[in-house]
Amino acid sequence: MAKYPFLSPEWIEAARTIHERYRSARPTGGLLVRMNQVITEVPFGSGTIDARMDTSSGELEIELGHLEAPDVTVTMDYATAKEVYVDGNVQSGMQAFMSGKIKTEGDISKLMAMQTMFQPTGADEATLEAAAAIKDMTT
């Protein structure tokens, strides 16, 4: 499997392919959340990436760009985003949040509820397989 730098255009395209492969098998658990993400200090491109996650359709949608009227907006640096989203390091994410490295605006309760969707103890098999595939293709 080819490997790509986290959030590079090639990585985003490969992540889309993985997401599509597992889309119908990954339940949202009834959690409805519309979240914008701002990733700063990206070592390529403009240095910032705007992304979104939306489960309001009943399926997990992850894409570039921002939603109008999100429930919550999360801002974090590139290294923290990689630890949280690729490595699945929830403890590192909590430490980053507590130290102010992750900033939030909006309904933080939706963000907290969303945590269990992606943790090994709360995630379904398809989500775990998709996460492993993403981790395997990331440098």
Please count the structural domains in the chain.
1
pLDDT at res. 128 = 84
* pLDDT digits 0-9 by tens, 73-101: 999 999 999 998 899 888 888 899 999 99
> Is 49 contained in some domain?
yes
The C-alpha torsion from 78 through 81 and 52 to 102, rounded to 10°, is -90
Q: What is the CATH number of the domain that holds 75?
A: 3.30.1050.10
Sheet of strand 49-54, all strands in order from the earlier edge strand to the far edge: 61-64, 49-54, 34-40, 72-77, 103-106
Q: What are the φ and ψ backbone dihedral angles of 123, each rounded to 5 degrees?
A: -90, 150
> Which of 48-52, 91-95, 109-113, 123-127 has the weakest average pLDDT?
123-127
Per-residue pLDDT for 115 more than 90? Answer: no
Let me know if residue 17 belongs to a domain: no
The answer to whether residue 83 is domain-embedded is yes
Asked whether residue 60 is assigned to any structural domain, the reply reads: yes
Contact at 8 Å (CB) between 66 and 50?
Answer: yes
The answer to whether residue 16 is domain-embedded is no
**pLDDT per residue as tens digits for the range 11-63:** 999 999 998 888 766 555 567 899 999 999 999 999 999 999 988 887 778 89
The tokens for 85 are 């989203």
CA-to-CA separations, 111 to 56, 132, 136, in angstroms, rounded: 14, 22, 26
Name the pLDDT band for 67 (thresholds 50, 70, 90). Answer: very high
Is there a domain that residue 89 lies in?
yes
Residue 134 lies in a domain: no
* pLDDT at site 31: 77
- How large is the average pLDDT for residues 131-136? 93
Give the structural domain span for 98: 31-122
Q: What is the pTM of this model?
A: 0.86
CA distance 130 to 22: 7
